[in-house]
Amino acid sequence: DTAVSQTPKYLVTQMGNDKSIKCEQNLGHDTMYWYKQDSKKFLKIMFSYNNKELIINETVPNRFSPKSPDKAHLNLHINSLELGDSAVYFCASTDRVNSPLHFGNGTRLTVT
Amino acid sequence: KNQVEQSPQSLIILEGKNCTLQCNYTVSPFSNLRWYKQDTGRGPVSLTIMTFSENTKSNGRYTATLDADTKQSSLHITASQLSDSASYICVVSAREYGNKLVFGAGTILRVKS
C-alpha cells in the first residue's frame, strides 16, 4: 500500500520521559512534515524537511528534534515530555509545494 | 484572530440533503486554497486545491468555490451520505511565507439517517 505511515498510533507516557514517533512514506516524495493538532483541532506545522534538509522550523521548543535518515523517513524525538505536549501529531509528505499533502493517521500522545 | 475562519463550527444534516460550508481568510497574498476531509481518528485527505485564478472545482459530490476578491471559499456537498460525516478543513497557502499552510479549525459535519 502506498501511504504515509506513522508509529505508534497511541503513546501514553509520564512527564519527563523521552519518546520518539516514527514516520515513513513510500510515495517517493521529497518533502516531509510534522504537524501538531491540539485540542481545538488546529493543525500547526512544526517542521518541514526537503530531501533530508530542514527547511521549516516553527517556534517549537528545542525538546523536539526531528531526524531524517533518508528522504522517506522523518522521525520526531521529544525530550523531557510535558503535559502540554499532549496532542495528536501528524506526519505528512508532498512532492511539490502546491501539491496536496498526504497525511499519516496520527499519533495520539498523552502525557500524564 | 485566526487567519482562516470556518463556519459553522458544526452541522447536522439528514442523509441525502445538500449542505454548504464556509471559509473566510485574511492570508495575503495567497498561493492556493485547499479543502481537506478528516475522518475521526484519521489524517486529513485532500478534496480540492484551487489557485487564485480558479473559482470552482469539483471532486465527485464535493464542489469548492473561491472568491479571491472577497477572500471567501465554500464547500458544497451534494446528496450527502453517512460517510460524509467528518471534519472539513479549509487551508490557505501563504505565498509570502514560502507557501506556508494556514489551517482553519474545521467544520464538523454529521450526517444522520
Closest Cα in chain B to A108: B41
Closest listed residue to residue B82, CA positions, set B11, B13, B21: B13
pLDDT digits (tens, 9 = 90+) for B4-60: 999 999 999 999 999 999 999 998 778 899 999 999 999 999 999 998 889 999 999
pLDDT digits (tens, 9 = 90+) for A11-48: 999 999 999 999 999 999 999 999 999 887 889 999 88
User: Does the beta carbon of B63 lie under 8 angstroms from any beta carbon of chain A?
Assistant: no
Grid cell 523517513 — which residue?
A73
B58 Cα to chain A: minimum distance (Å): 15
Contact B72, B24 (CB under 8 A): yes
Closest listed residue to residue A43, CA positions, set B96, B42, B44: B44
